[in-house]
């Protein structure tokens, strides 16, 4: 089997060898076993179903939410002499019928569909008349309500899978799936857990960095000056902020364009093309930009504001360095930016249980921003993968000395206990700094022995310390929307004097990067 697949790889795509996981996935598909393929962005997921598509007798249906990318994929296949077509909302009824007929007459090997097509009963029934041998589901995390980008149309896929009389083999592909999402996908699509092929999430060419407590604008302008020859994406949370930042950069003479869902399609397309073809250096965008953007030489992705969860962060950050060359993923963190995401969750129409889950995910994002451990390791652990420290993220390269902050940590931890582990960090910090706010008097916290124990420190300094203790595992957050802080087992050891707490010094060493990509 591998021999034939290898020959197709060479003859049709011009590559000499498989990337990790590709041959295993292809073998399973050719054995008619349903598969879940989890591979990082740029790992080569498309070939996993394109090669079987050429080896199997009938038609391959690819369901992909990336309408903007469908045409490019089909064009690329056609250039390699592979007959493929797509059907999505950009086509009129006649054209859709024409394309279905082509498929019925075996004139194409692959047909790409937007998931929304599957909501149409009539279309489904026409489709099920075709001799479909393989069903590939791209961005398969959209199928799970636990995923960060759930699409209701994807639920129809299950019906679809079981409806086709030709019993196609199913391959689900994604770059972002926590173990919960992965098992959800497998259950829904009837994939045997033994048939999950995961090549891991690690993107070794990405260097992660968190920039905290700095003037964000000054940092950004300096960064873009140093990296003037490199293409990059800057994500912000709101359209307004995207517009403000784009204006700012343009005024400073930086070639920047913007992308958000409030712009007309024409403007979005134009700006996207300018970026893809290196006519501008920087794309400033909301999360509306990027799914399926296949620009290989993106050297940096900067999040100017914190995104809502690590899945979204990793996916967006992962748009850097698809060509495998060293690239940077920088999160500019300011605790107040969490409020924006908090607001988005609050305003959304999700059911309460989902809202709580989103608040918990946001807490993980804040832990990421506050950890002093390896950033890549933190992300991989979130996705259920253990790995050594990467050695090249902002924290791994941090040369500041570690300071013993055990006594301060003990003050915080004992205050949390004295407040009966029923409050959040702001109030705890207020008690420790001896604040006179009414609530403290009302609740008699000014009678506690820990009241004012850190007098003279700013509220911010103390909340930073609490964030650090939380992300390092000495404190645990409990609850979704308004989490309360609890002392963990590790925190207990610190209180008993059995463990020390070390923290990096307060001033971040200035480090600049220079990447030259000949923009």
Tokens, residue 22: 């590709």
User: Which of 384, 332, 375 lies closest to 471, judged by CA?
Assistant: 375
Residue (73 or 477) nearer to ligand ADP, CB: 73
Q: Which range in 16-24, 389-397, 448-456, 505-513 contacts ligand ADP by CB under 6 A?
A: 16-24
Tokens, residue 305: 């504001």
Q: Which range in 37-45, 101-109, 297-305, 352-360 contacts ligand ADP by CB under 6 A?
A: 37-45
Computed on alpha carbons and rounded to an integer, the radius of gyration of the chain in Å comes to 26
Residue (47 or 302) nearer to ligand ADP, CB: 47
Say if CB 502 and CB 405 are below 8 A apart: yes
Nearest distance in Å: CB 19, ligand ADP: 4
Using CB under 6 A as the binding rule, the residues of this chain from 143 to 202 that contact ligand ADP are none
Residue (201 or 423) nearer to ligand ADP, CB: 201
Q: According to CB under 6 A, which one of 23, 25, 30, 42 is a site residue for ligand ADP?
A: 42
Q: How far apart are CA 136 and CA 54, in angstroms?
A: 13
- CA–CA distance from 411 to each of 296, 441, 447, 462, 500 (Å)? 49, 20, 15, 11, 13
Q: Does 297 bind ligand ADP (CB under 6 A)?
A: no
Question: Collapsing DSSP states into helix, strand and coil, what is residue 116?
Answer: helix
Residue (40 or 491) nearer to ligand ADP, CB: 40
> Which regions of 59-117 does DSSP assign to beta strands (E)?
59-63, 84-87, 110-113
Q: Does 19 bind ligand ADP (CB under 6 A)?
A: yes
Q: Token match 């999430």: residue?
A: 201
Nearest distance in Å: CB 39, ligand ADP: 5
Tokens, residue 89: 């909302």
- CA–CA distance from 139 to each of 41, 176, 283, 350, 435 (Å)? 11, 8, 23, 21, 50
Q: How far apart are CA 313 and CA 379, in angstroms?
A: 10
Residue (8 or 100) nearer to ligand ADP, CB: 8
Nearest distance in Å: CB 49, ligand ADP: 10
Say if CB 64 and CB 139 are below 8 A apart: yes
Nearest distance in Å: CB 107, ligand ADP: 24
Residue (321 or 483) nearer to ligand ADP, CB: 321
Nearest distance in Å: CB 172, ligand ADP: 13
Q: Does 46 bind ligand ADP (CB under 6 A)?
A: yes
Q: Which range in 36-44, 127-135, 161-169, 428-436 contacts ligand ADP by CB under 6 A?
A: 36-44
Residue (43 or 321) nearer to ligand ADP, CB: 43
User: Which residues 6+ apart lie within 8 Å of 424 measured at CB?
Assistant: 482, 483, 484, 485
Using CB under 6 A as the binding rule, the residues of this chain from 389 to 428 that contact ligand ADP are none
Residue-by-residue DSSP string for 169-191: EEEEEES---HHHHHHHHHHHT-
Nearest distance in Å: CB 401, ligand ADP: 40
Using CB under 6 A as the binding rule, the residues of this chain from 438 to 477 that contact ligand ADP are none
Find the helix or strand (DSSP H, E) in which 196 lies. strand 196-198
Residue (43 or 394) nearer to ligand ADP, CB: 43
Nearest distance in Å: CB 69, ligand ADP: 9
Question: Collapsing DSSP states into helix, strand and coil, what is residue 58?
Answer: coil
Q: How many residues bind ligand ADP (CB under 6 A)?
A: 12
Q: According to CB under 6 A, which one of 5, 8, 29, 39 is a site residue for ligand ADP?
A: 39
User: Which residues 6+ apart lie within 8 Å of 501 measured at CB?
Assistant: 404, 405, 406, 408, 409, 469, 472, 474, 494
Q: Does 47 bind ligand ADP (CB under 6 A)?
A: yes
Q: According to CB under 6 A, which one of 21, 43, 115, 394 is a site residue for ligand ADP?
A: 43
Residue (46 or 459) nearer to ligand ADP, CB: 46
Q: According to CB under 6 A, which one of 30, 36, 45, 184 is a site residue for ligand ADP?
A: 45
Residue (248 or 276) nearer to ligand ADP, CB: 276
Q: According to CB under 6 A, which one of 2, 10, 15, 460 is a site residue for ligand ADP?
A: 15
Residue (43 or 115) nearer to ligand ADP, CB: 43
Tell me the residue nearest to ligand ADP as measured from the CB: 44
Q: Does 18 bind ligand ADP (CB under 6 A)?
A: yes
What is the DSSP code (8-state) at residue 250?
A: H
Q: Does 41 bind ligand ADP (CB under 6 A)?
A: yes
User: Which of 280, 504, 500 lies closest to 409, judged by CA?
Assistant: 500
The torsion angles phi and psi of 59, rounded to 5 degrees, stand at -100, 150
Nearest distance in Å: CB 498, ligand ADP: 47
Counted residue by residue, the chain has a size of 519
Residue (293 or 453) nearer to ligand ADP, CB: 293
Nearest distance in Å: CB 422, ligand ADP: 46
Q: Token match 């083999």: residue?
A: 169
Residue (47 or 87) nearer to ligand ADP, CB: 47
- CA–CA distance from 117 to each of 189, 435, 477 (Å)? 18, 59, 42
Say if CB 86 and CB 70 are below 8 A apart: yes
What is the DSSP code (8-state) at residue 348?
A: S
The residues binding ligand ADP (CB under 6 A) are 15, 18-19, 22, 39, 41-47
């Amino acid at each position: 089997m591998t021999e034939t697949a290898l020959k197709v790889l060479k003859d049709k795509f011009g590559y000499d060898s498989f990337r990790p996981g590709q041959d295993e996935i292809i073998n399973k598909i050719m054995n008619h076993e349903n598969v879940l393929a989890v591979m990082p962005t740029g790992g080569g997921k498309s070939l996993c179903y394109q090669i079987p598509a050429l080896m199997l007798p009938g038609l391959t249906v690819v369901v992909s939410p990336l309408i903007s990318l469908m045409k490019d994929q089909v064009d690329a296949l056609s250039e390699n002499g592979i007959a493929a077509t797509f059907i999505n909302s950009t086509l009129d009824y006649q054209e859709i019928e024409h394309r279905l007929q082509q498929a019925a007459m075996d004139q194409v090997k692959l047909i790409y569909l937007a998931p929304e097509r599957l909501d149409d009963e009539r279309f489904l029934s026409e489709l099920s008349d075709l001799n479909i041998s393989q069903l590939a589901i791209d961005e398969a995390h959209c199928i799970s309500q636990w995923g960060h980008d759930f699409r209701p149309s994807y639920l129809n896929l299950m019906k679809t899978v079981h409806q086709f009389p030709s019993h196609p083999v199913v391959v689900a592909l994604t770059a972002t799936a926590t173990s919960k999402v992965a098992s959800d996908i497998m259950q829904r699509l009837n994939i045997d857990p033994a048939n999950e092929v995961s090549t891991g999430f690690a993107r070794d060419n990405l260097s992660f960095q968190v920039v905290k407590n700095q003037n964000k604008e000054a940092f950004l302008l300096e960064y873009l000056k140093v990296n003037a020859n490199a293409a990059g994406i800057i994500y912000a949370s709101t359209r307004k902020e995207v517009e403000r930042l784009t204006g700012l950069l343009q005024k400073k003479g930086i070639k920047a364009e913007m992308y958000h869902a409030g712009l007309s399609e024409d403007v979005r397309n134009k700006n996207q093309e300018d970026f893809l073809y290196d006519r501008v250096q920087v794309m400033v965008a909301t999360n509306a930009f990027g799914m399926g953007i296949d620009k290989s030489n993106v050297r940096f992705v900067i999040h100017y504001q914190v995104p809502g969860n690590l899945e979204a962060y990793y996916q967006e950050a992962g748009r850097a360095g698809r060509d495998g060359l060293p690239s940077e993923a920088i999160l500019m963190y300011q605790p107040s930016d969490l409020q924006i995401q908090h607001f988005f969750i609050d305003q959304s129409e999700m059911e309460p249980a989902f809202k709580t889950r989103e608040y918990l995910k946001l807490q993980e994002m804040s832990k990421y921003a506050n950890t002093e451990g390896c950033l890549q390791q933190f992300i991989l652990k979130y996705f259920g993968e253990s790995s050594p420290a990467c050695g090249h993220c902002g924290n791994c390269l941090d040369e500041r000395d570690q300071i013993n902050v055990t006594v301060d940590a003990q003050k915080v931890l004992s205050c949390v206990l004295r407040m009966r582990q029923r409050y959040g960090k702001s109030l705890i910090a207020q008690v420790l700094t001896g604040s006179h706010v009414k609530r403290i008097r009302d609740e008699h916290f000014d009678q506690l022995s820990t009241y004012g124990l850190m007098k003279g420190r700013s509220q911010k300094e103390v909340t930073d310390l609490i964030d650090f203790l939380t992300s390092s595992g000495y404190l645990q957050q409990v609850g979704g929307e308004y989490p309360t802080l609890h002392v963990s087992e590790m925190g207990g050891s610190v209180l008993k004097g059995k463990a020390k707490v070390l923290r990096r010094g307060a001033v971040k060493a200035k480090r600049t990067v220079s990447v030259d990509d000949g923009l």
